[in-house]
A and B are shown apart, each in its own frame.
Chain A
Amino acid sequence: MSNEFSGRALIVVPAWNEEAAVAETVREIYAAVPAADVLVVDDGSSDRTVECAREAGALVLELPFNLGVGGAMRAGFRYALRHNYDVAVQVDADGQHDPSEIPDLLAGLAHADIVIGARFAERGAYQVRGPRKWAMVVLSKVLSLLAKTRLTDTTSGFKATGRRALPLFAEHYPVEYLGDTIESLVIALRSGCVVTQVPAHMRPRRAGNPSHSPWKATVYLFRAGFALLLALVRRWDTTVKQAVPMAAPPAAEKRMSS
Protein backbone atom coordinates (compact mmCIF):
# COMPACT_ATOMS: atom_id res chain seq x y z
CA MET A 1 0.00 0.00 0.00
CA SER A 2 1.96 3.04 1.16
CA ASN A 3 5.66 3.41 1.75
CA GLU A 4 5.38 2.89 5.45
CA PHE A 5 5.84 -0.84 4.93
CA SER A 6 9.56 -1.10 4.73
CA GLY A 7 9.34 -4.83 5.28
CA ARG A 8 7.09 -7.19 3.45
CA ALA A 9 6.33 -9.68 6.16
CA LEU A 10 2.80 -9.97 7.48
CA ILE A 11 2.27 -11.58 10.84
CA VAL A 12 -1.19 -13.12 10.85
CA VAL A 13 -2.76 -13.65 14.26
CA PRO A 14 -5.99 -15.62 14.16
CA ALA A 15 -7.97 -14.69 17.28
CA TRP A 16 -11.24 -15.93 18.62
CA ASN A 17 -12.35 -14.43 21.93
CA GLU A 18 -8.81 -13.60 22.99
CA GLU A 19 -9.33 -10.16 24.49
CA ALA A 20 -7.14 -11.07 27.47
CA ALA A 21 -4.10 -12.04 25.45
CA VAL A 22 -4.22 -10.50 22.02
CA ALA A 23 -2.94 -7.00 22.83
CA GLU A 24 0.14 -8.29 24.61
CA THR A 25 0.82 -10.73 21.76
CA VAL A 26 0.61 -7.93 19.20
CA ARG A 27 2.99 -5.75 21.21
CA GLU A 28 5.45 -8.61 21.56
CA ILE A 29 5.39 -9.19 17.82
CA TYR A 30 6.05 -5.53 17.07
CA ALA A 31 8.93 -5.63 19.55
CA ALA A 32 10.38 -8.77 17.98
CA VAL A 33 9.96 -7.84 14.32
CA PRO A 34 9.46 -4.07 14.05
CA ALA A 35 9.57 -4.14 10.26
CA ALA A 36 6.61 -6.47 9.93
CA ASP A 37 2.91 -5.66 9.92
CA VAL A 38 0.58 -7.43 12.27
CA LEU A 39 -2.81 -8.51 11.03
CA VAL A 40 -5.18 -9.81 13.67
CA VAL A 41 -7.95 -11.85 12.10
CA ASP A 42 -10.90 -11.67 14.42
CA ASP A 43 -12.82 -14.86 13.89
CA GLY A 44 -16.24 -13.59 14.88
CA SER A 45 -15.38 -12.90 18.50
CA SER A 46 -18.09 -11.85 20.89
CA ASP A 47 -15.74 -10.07 23.27
CA ARG A 48 -13.46 -7.04 22.92
CA THR A 49 -10.80 -8.80 20.84
CA VAL A 50 -11.16 -6.33 17.99
CA GLU A 51 -10.78 -3.22 20.17
CA CYS A 52 -7.87 -4.71 22.10
CA ALA A 53 -6.02 -5.63 18.92
CA ARG A 54 -6.68 -2.24 17.38
CA GLU A 55 -5.47 -0.40 20.47
CA ALA A 56 -2.28 -2.44 20.34
CA GLY A 57 -1.77 -1.10 16.83
CA ALA A 58 -2.58 -4.12 14.71
CA LEU A 59 -4.50 -4.18 11.46
CA VAL A 60 -7.72 -5.99 12.22
CA LEU A 61 -9.66 -8.17 9.84
CA GLU A 62 -13.15 -8.70 11.19
CA LEU A 63 -14.79 -11.85 9.92
CA PRO A 64 -18.56 -11.49 10.14
CA PHE A 65 -18.96 -14.93 11.72
CA ASN A 66 -16.80 -17.73 13.01
CA LEU A 67 -14.91 -19.55 10.27
CA GLY A 68 -12.40 -21.48 12.35
CA VAL A 69 -8.63 -21.13 12.31
CA GLY A 70 -8.40 -22.33 8.72
CA GLY A 71 -10.86 -19.73 7.47
CA ALA A 72 -9.19 -16.99 9.47
CA MET A 73 -5.81 -17.92 8.06
CA ARG A 74 -7.09 -18.09 4.51
CA ALA A 75 -8.45 -14.58 4.92
CA GLY A 76 -5.02 -13.57 6.21
CA PHE A 77 -3.26 -15.18 3.26
CA ARG A 78 -5.58 -13.48 0.83
CA TYR A 79 -4.93 -10.16 2.50
CA ALA A 80 -1.19 -10.80 2.29
CA LEU A 81 -1.42 -11.66 -1.38
CA ARG A 82 -3.62 -8.69 -2.16
CA HIS A 83 -1.20 -6.33 -0.49
CA ASN A 84 1.82 -7.97 -1.99
CA TYR A 85 3.56 -9.30 1.07
CA ASP A 86 6.35 -11.79 0.58
CA VAL A 87 5.78 -13.75 3.73
CA ALA A 88 2.91 -14.54 6.05
CA VAL A 89 3.65 -15.89 9.50
CA GLN A 90 0.98 -17.43 11.67
CA VAL A 91 1.24 -16.63 15.37
CA ASP A 92 -1.50 -17.68 17.76
CA ALA A 93 -3.12 -14.97 19.83
CA ASP A 94 -3.03 -16.88 23.10
CA GLY A 95 0.68 -16.25 23.54
CA GLN A 96 1.84 -19.85 23.15
CA HIS A 97 4.08 -18.92 20.27
CA ASP A 98 7.10 -16.84 21.19
CA PRO A 99 7.30 -13.89 18.78
CA SER A 100 11.02 -13.54 19.39
CA GLU A 101 11.40 -16.71 17.33
CA ILE A 102 9.74 -15.22 14.25
CA PRO A 103 13.11 -14.10 12.83
CA ASP A 104 14.25 -17.74 12.98
CA LEU A 105 11.28 -18.77 10.86
CA LEU A 106 11.89 -15.95 8.41
CA ALA A 107 15.54 -16.91 8.11
CA GLY A 108 14.48 -20.47 7.34
CA LEU A 109 12.53 -19.25 4.33
CA ALA A 110 15.78 -18.59 2.52
CA HIS A 111 15.83 -22.23 1.48
CA ALA A 112 12.23 -23.33 1.93
CA ASP A 113 8.71 -22.27 1.02
CA ILE A 114 7.20 -23.13 4.37
CA VAL A 115 8.96 -23.13 7.73
CA ILE A 116 7.34 -24.77 10.74
CA GLY A 117 8.20 -23.73 14.28
CA ALA A 118 8.42 -27.21 15.76
CA ARG A 119 7.62 -27.55 19.42
CA PHE A 120 9.53 -30.71 20.19
CA ALA A 121 12.77 -30.17 18.37
CA GLU A 122 15.36 -29.60 21.09
CA ARG A 123 13.90 -26.51 22.72
CA GLY A 124 11.08 -26.19 25.17
CA ALA A 125 9.24 -28.55 27.46
CA TYR A 126 6.04 -28.95 25.48
CA GLN A 127 4.81 -32.47 25.94
CA VAL A 128 1.81 -34.56 25.04
CA ARG A 129 0.96 -38.14 25.90
CA GLY A 130 -1.34 -40.98 24.92
CA PRO A 131 -3.40 -41.12 21.71
CA ARG A 132 -2.64 -37.52 20.92
CA LYS A 133 1.04 -38.31 20.93
CA TRP A 134 0.61 -41.40 18.76
CA ALA A 135 -1.32 -39.37 16.25
CA MET A 136 1.41 -36.78 16.14
CA VAL A 137 4.12 -39.42 15.71
CA VAL A 138 2.32 -41.10 12.80
CA LEU A 139 1.57 -37.78 11.16
CA SER A 140 5.18 -36.71 11.50
CA LYS A 141 6.43 -39.95 9.98
CA VAL A 142 4.13 -39.76 6.97
CA LEU A 143 4.67 -36.09 6.33
CA SER A 144 8.44 -36.39 6.81
CA LEU A 145 8.40 -39.03 4.12
CA LEU A 146 6.44 -36.75 1.81
CA ALA A 147 8.63 -33.76 2.57
CA LYS A 148 11.85 -35.79 2.28
CA THR A 149 13.09 -34.12 5.43
CA ARG A 150 12.55 -34.66 9.15
CA LEU A 151 9.43 -32.95 10.43
CA THR A 152 8.71 -33.58 14.09
CA ASP A 153 5.74 -31.30 14.72
CA THR A 154 3.34 -31.26 11.84
CA THR A 155 0.41 -29.91 13.81
CA SER A 156 2.18 -26.75 14.90
CA GLY A 157 0.33 -23.57 14.05
CA PHE A 158 3.52 -21.55 14.23
CA LYS A 159 4.41 -21.35 10.56
CA ALA A 160 5.98 -19.02 8.03
CA THR A 161 4.70 -19.15 4.47
CA GLY A 162 6.82 -17.81 1.65
CA ARG A 163 6.03 -16.26 -1.68
CA ARG A 164 5.58 -19.50 -3.51
CA ALA A 165 3.07 -21.05 -1.13
CA LEU A 166 1.12 -17.83 -0.50
CA PRO A 167 -1.04 -17.86 -3.63
CA LEU A 168 -1.64 -21.55 -3.14
CA PHE A 169 -2.83 -21.04 0.43
CA ALA A 170 -4.80 -17.90 -0.39
CA GLU A 171 -6.83 -20.04 -2.77
CA HIS A 172 -6.84 -23.48 -1.20
CA TYR A 173 -6.10 -23.17 2.50
CA PRO A 174 -8.24 -25.89 4.04
CA VAL A 175 -10.91 -24.76 6.43
CA GLU A 176 -12.03 -28.02 7.97
CA TYR A 177 -10.86 -29.46 11.27
CA LEU A 178 -7.09 -29.98 11.35
CA GLY A 179 -6.97 -28.90 7.74
CA ASP A 180 -5.02 -25.83 8.66
CA THR A 181 -2.09 -27.93 9.80
CA ILE A 182 -2.00 -31.39 8.26
CA GLU A 183 -3.90 -30.83 5.06
CA SER A 184 -2.18 -27.55 4.29
CA LEU A 185 1.22 -29.23 4.50
CA VAL A 186 0.09 -32.02 2.19
CA ILE A 187 -1.25 -29.52 -0.32
CA ALA A 188 1.97 -27.56 -0.22
CA LEU A 189 4.12 -30.66 -0.59
CA ARG A 190 2.03 -32.06 -3.41
CA SER A 191 2.38 -28.85 -5.33
CA GLY A 192 6.13 -28.95 -4.98
CA CYS A 193 6.82 -26.57 -2.11
CA VAL A 194 9.78 -27.19 0.17
CA VAL A 195 8.85 -27.57 3.82
CA THR A 196 11.34 -27.42 6.68
CA GLN A 197 11.21 -26.82 10.40
CA VAL A 198 13.12 -24.85 12.98
CA PRO A 199 12.95 -25.52 16.71
CA ALA A 200 10.62 -23.31 18.70
CA HIS A 201 9.62 -22.84 22.32
CA MET A 202 6.11 -23.45 23.42
CA ARG A 203 4.93 -21.23 26.23
CA PRO A 204 1.98 -21.76 28.50
CA ARG A 205 -1.08 -20.00 27.15
CA ARG A 206 -1.71 -16.60 28.56
CA ALA A 207 -5.46 -16.97 28.93
CA GLY A 208 -8.21 -19.43 28.16
CA ASN A 209 -8.30 -23.17 28.71
CA PRO A 210 -6.49 -25.92 26.86
CA SER A 211 -8.62 -28.89 25.93
CA HIS A 212 -7.20 -32.17 27.13
CA SER A 213 -8.97 -35.39 27.99
CA PRO A 214 -8.34 -39.00 26.98
CA TRP A 215 -11.60 -39.11 25.07
CA LYS A 216 -10.83 -35.95 23.18
CA ALA A 217 -7.36 -37.27 22.47
CA THR A 218 -8.79 -40.41 20.93
CA VAL A 219 -11.20 -38.45 18.81
CA TYR A 220 -8.24 -36.32 17.81
CA LEU A 221 -6.33 -39.42 16.73
CA PHE A 222 -9.07 -40.53 14.38
CA ARG A 223 -9.82 -37.12 13.00
CA ALA A 224 -6.15 -36.50 12.38
CA GLY A 225 -5.82 -39.80 10.55
CA PHE A 226 -8.89 -39.08 8.50
CA ALA A 227 -7.71 -35.59 7.68
CA LEU A 228 -4.40 -36.98 6.51
CA LEU A 229 -5.92 -39.70 4.35
CA LEU A 230 -8.33 -37.24 2.82
CA ALA A 231 -5.58 -34.79 2.07
CA LEU A 232 -3.57 -37.53 0.39
CA VAL A 233 -6.33 -38.71 -1.91
CA ARG A 234 -8.04 -35.43 -2.66
CA ARG A 235 -7.47 -33.72 -5.93
CA TRP A 236 -5.93 -30.30 -5.66
CA ASP A 237 -5.78 -27.79 -8.37
CA THR A 238 -2.16 -27.01 -7.70
CA THR A 239 -1.68 -24.93 -10.80
CA VAL A 240 -2.64 -21.78 -9.01
CA LYS A 241 -2.35 -18.63 -10.97
CA GLN A 242 -0.20 -15.93 -9.46
CA ALA A 243 -2.93 -13.59 -8.35
CA VAL A 244 -2.30 -10.01 -9.36
CA PRO A 245 -1.74 -7.97 -6.23
CA MET A 246 -3.57 -4.69 -6.19
CA ALA A 247 -0.82 -2.63 -4.64
CA ALA A 248 2.73 -1.47 -5.27
CA PRO A 249 5.18 -3.52 -7.33
CA PRO A 250 7.35 -5.93 -5.37
CA ALA A 251 10.20 -3.62 -4.50
CA ALA A 252 11.47 -5.32 -1.38
CA GLU A 253 11.29 -8.73 -2.95
CA LYS A 254 14.50 -10.15 -1.54
CA ARG A 255 14.55 -8.53 1.83
CA MET A 256 13.68 -11.70 3.65
CA SER A 257 16.31 -13.94 2.19
CA SER A 258 19.20 -12.48 4.15
Chain B
Amino acid sequence: MSAYIVALIGSVLILLGIFELLRRRQLSEKYAVLWLVVGVTLLVVTIFPGLLGVLSRAAGVEIASNLLFFVAIVFLVGVALHLSWEVSRLEDETRKLAEDLAILRLDVDEHVKRTTSGPDGKS
Protein backbone atom coordinates (compact mmCIF):
# COMPACT_ATOMS: atom_id res chain seq x y z
CA MET B 1 0.00 0.00 0.00
CA SER B 2 1.41 3.33 -0.93
CA ALA B 3 1.79 6.17 1.53
CA TYR B 4 -0.60 8.14 -0.62
CA ILE B 5 -3.45 5.73 0.07
CA VAL B 6 -2.68 5.62 3.82
CA ALA B 7 -2.67 9.41 4.04
CA LEU B 8 -5.90 9.60 2.06
CA ILE B 9 -7.68 7.09 4.29
CA GLY B 10 -6.35 8.88 7.38
CA SER B 11 -7.64 12.25 6.24
CA VAL B 12 -11.03 10.86 5.34
CA LEU B 13 -11.28 9.12 8.72
CA ILE B 14 -10.45 12.33 10.58
CA LEU B 15 -13.04 14.23 8.59
CA LEU B 16 -15.63 11.51 9.25
CA GLY B 17 -14.77 11.57 12.96
CA ILE B 18 -15.33 15.31 13.16
CA PHE B 19 -18.55 14.97 11.23
CA GLU B 20 -19.79 12.19 13.49
CA LEU B 21 -18.99 14.14 16.67
CA LEU B 22 -20.83 17.09 15.22
CA ARG B 23 -23.79 14.93 14.25
CA ARG B 24 -24.05 13.50 17.75
CA ARG B 25 -23.86 17.03 19.11
CA GLN B 26 -20.75 16.30 21.11
CA LEU B 27 -18.92 19.23 19.61
CA SER B 28 -20.29 22.74 19.84
CA GLU B 29 -20.51 24.68 16.62
CA LYS B 30 -17.74 27.17 17.25
CA TYR B 31 -15.21 24.36 17.55
CA ALA B 32 -16.80 22.20 14.87
CA VAL B 33 -16.31 24.80 12.17
CA LEU B 34 -12.66 25.14 13.10
CA TRP B 35 -12.02 21.42 12.93
CA LEU B 36 -14.00 20.97 9.74
CA VAL B 37 -11.78 23.55 8.09
CA VAL B 38 -8.75 21.66 9.37
CA GLY B 39 -10.12 18.33 8.14
CA VAL B 40 -10.95 19.63 4.69
CA THR B 41 -7.57 21.32 4.34
CA LEU B 42 -5.88 18.10 5.34
CA LEU B 43 -7.87 16.14 2.76
CA VAL B 44 -7.12 18.62 -0.03
CA VAL B 45 -3.40 18.57 0.76
CA THR B 46 -3.44 14.77 0.78
CA ILE B 47 -5.23 14.49 -2.53
CA PHE B 48 -3.00 17.04 -4.23
CA PRO B 49 0.46 16.57 -2.74
CA GLY B 50 1.86 18.96 -5.33
CA LEU B 51 -0.06 21.79 -3.75
CA LEU B 52 2.18 21.76 -0.68
CA GLY B 53 5.24 22.09 -2.90
CA VAL B 54 3.79 25.07 -4.71
CA LEU B 55 2.85 26.75 -1.45
CA SER B 56 6.23 26.21 0.18
CA ARG B 57 8.06 27.54 -2.87
CA ALA B 58 5.83 30.60 -2.73
CA ALA B 59 6.59 31.02 0.96
CA GLY B 60 10.29 30.50 0.44
CA VAL B 61 10.44 27.29 2.46
CA GLU B 62 12.95 24.79 1.06
CA ILE B 63 11.48 21.54 2.33
CA ALA B 64 7.75 21.27 1.78
CA SER B 65 7.05 19.22 4.89
CA ASN B 66 8.60 21.95 7.05
CA LEU B 67 5.87 24.31 5.97
CA LEU B 68 3.34 21.71 7.01
CA PHE B 69 4.99 21.29 10.42
CA PHE B 70 5.28 25.00 10.95
CA VAL B 71 1.65 25.67 10.16
CA ALA B 72 0.53 22.70 12.26
CA ILE B 73 2.54 23.78 15.31
CA VAL B 74 1.35 27.37 15.15
CA PHE B 75 -2.19 26.15 14.81
CA LEU B 76 -1.90 23.73 17.74
CA VAL B 77 -0.34 26.34 20.02
CA GLY B 78 -3.18 28.64 19.15
CA VAL B 79 -5.75 25.97 19.96
CA ALA B 80 -4.05 25.09 23.26
CA LEU B 81 -3.99 28.75 24.27
CA HIS B 82 -7.60 29.16 23.38
CA LEU B 83 -8.56 26.09 25.40
CA SER B 84 -6.65 27.38 28.44
CA TRP B 85 -8.54 30.61 28.15
CA GLU B 86 -11.81 28.76 27.84
CA VAL B 87 -11.02 26.56 30.86
CA SER B 88 -10.10 29.59 32.98
CA ARG B 89 -13.41 31.15 32.15
CA LEU B 90 -15.34 27.99 32.87
CA GLU B 91 -13.51 27.53 36.16
CA ASP B 92 -14.44 31.01 37.22
CA GLU B 93 -18.05 30.44 36.28
CA THR B 94 -18.11 27.15 38.20
CA ARG B 95 -16.62 28.84 41.25
CA LYS B 96 -19.21 31.57 41.17
CA LEU B 97 -21.95 28.98 40.89
CA ALA B 98 -20.54 26.99 43.81
CA GLU B 99 -20.38 30.12 45.95
CA ASP B 100 -23.88 31.15 45.06
CA LEU B 101 -25.18 27.65 45.65
CA ALA B 102 -23.69 27.60 49.15
CA ILE B 103 -25.11 31.04 49.95
CA LEU B 104 -28.56 30.13 48.70
CA ARG B 105 -28.53 26.86 50.59
CA LEU B 106 -27.77 28.65 53.84
CA ASP B 107 -30.42 31.28 53.11
CA VAL B 108 -33.02 28.61 52.46
CA ASP B 109 -32.03 26.65 55.56
CA GLU B 110 -32.30 29.74 57.73
CA HIS B 111 -35.60 30.63 56.16
CA VAL B 112 -37.03 27.17 56.72
CA LYS B 113 -35.77 27.16 60.30
CA ARG B 114 -37.42 30.51 60.98
CA THR B 115 -40.75 29.63 59.46
CA THR B 116 -41.03 26.18 61.08
CA SER B 117 -39.97 27.21 64.56
CA GLY B 118 -42.84 29.66 64.90
CA PRO B 119 -42.84 33.43 65.35
CA ASP B 120 -41.08 33.16 68.68
CA GLY B 121 -38.59 30.58 67.56
CA LYS B 122 -34.95 31.36 67.74
CA SER B 123 -33.24 30.66 64.47
Given the known interface contacts A2-B114, A2-B123, the answer about A74 and B99 at a Cβ–Cβ threshold of 8 Å is yes
Residue ID in chain A nearest B92 by CB atoms: A175
Whether the Cβ atoms of A65 and B102 lie closer than 8 Å is no
B23-31, B41-49, B51-59, B103-111: which lies at the interface: B103-111
Residues of A within 8 A of B122 (CB): 4
Q: In the complex, A81 Cα to B115 Cα: how many Å? A: 23
Whether the Cβ atoms of B103 and A59 lie closer than 8 Å is no
B92 to chain A: closest CB distance in Å? 8
Q: Which of B61-104 contact A (CB under 8 A)?
A: 92, 95, 98-103
Residues of A within 8 A of B103 (CB): 61, 75, 78-79, 82
Q: In the complex, A41 Cα to B110 Cα: how many Å? A: 15
Q: In the complex, A114 Cα to B105 Cα: how many Å? A: 29
Q: Which of A59-74 contact B (CB under 8 A)?
A: 59-65, 67, 71, 74
Q: Does A251 contact B (CB under 8 A)?
A: no
Whether the Cβ atoms of A175 and B98 lie closer than 8 Å is no
B94 to chain A: closest CB distance in Å? 9
Whether the Cβ atoms of B110 and A63 lie closer than 8 Å is no
A83 to chain B: closest CB distance in Å? 9
Whether the Cβ atoms of B123 and A61 lie closer than 8 Å is no
Q: In the complex, which range does the number of interface residues on chain B fall in?
A: 10 to 19
Q: Does A1 contact B (CB under 8 A)?
A: yes
Q: In the complex, A60 Cα to B92 Cα: how many Å? A: 22
Residues of B within 8 A of A59 (CB): 106, 110
Residues of B within 8 A of A63 (CB): 98-99, 102
Given the known interface contacts A2-B123, A59-B106, A79-B106, the answer about A64 and B95 at a Cβ–Cβ threshold of 8 Å is no
Residue ID in chain B nearest A68 by CB atoms: B95
Q: In the complex, A233 Cα to B123 Cα: how many Å? A: 46
Residues of B within 8 A of A4 (CB): 122-123
Q: In the complex, A20 Cα to B37 Cα: how many Å? A: 58
Q: In the complex, A95 Cα to B110 Cα: how many Å? A: 27
Residues of A within 8 A of B95 (CB): 67, 71, 74, 175
Residue ID in chain A nearest B105 by CB atoms: A62
Residue ID in chain A nearest B99 by CB atoms: A75
B86 to chain A: closest CB distance in Å? 17
- The list of the 3 closest CB pairs from A to B, nearest first, reads A75-B99, A61-B102, A63-B102
Contacts A/B (CB < 8 Å), 22 sampled: A1-B110, A2-B114, A4-B123, A41-B102, A59-B106, A61-B103, A61-B105, A61-B106, A62-B102, A63-B102, A64-B102, A67-B98, A67-B99, A71-B95, A71-B98, A71-B99, A74-B95, A74-B99, A75-B103, A78-B99, A78-B100, A175-B92
Could you list 5 further interchain pairs (A-B, Cβ under 8 angstroms) beyond the known A61-B105, A71-B95?
A: A4-B122, A63-B98, A78-B103, A82-B103, A175-B95
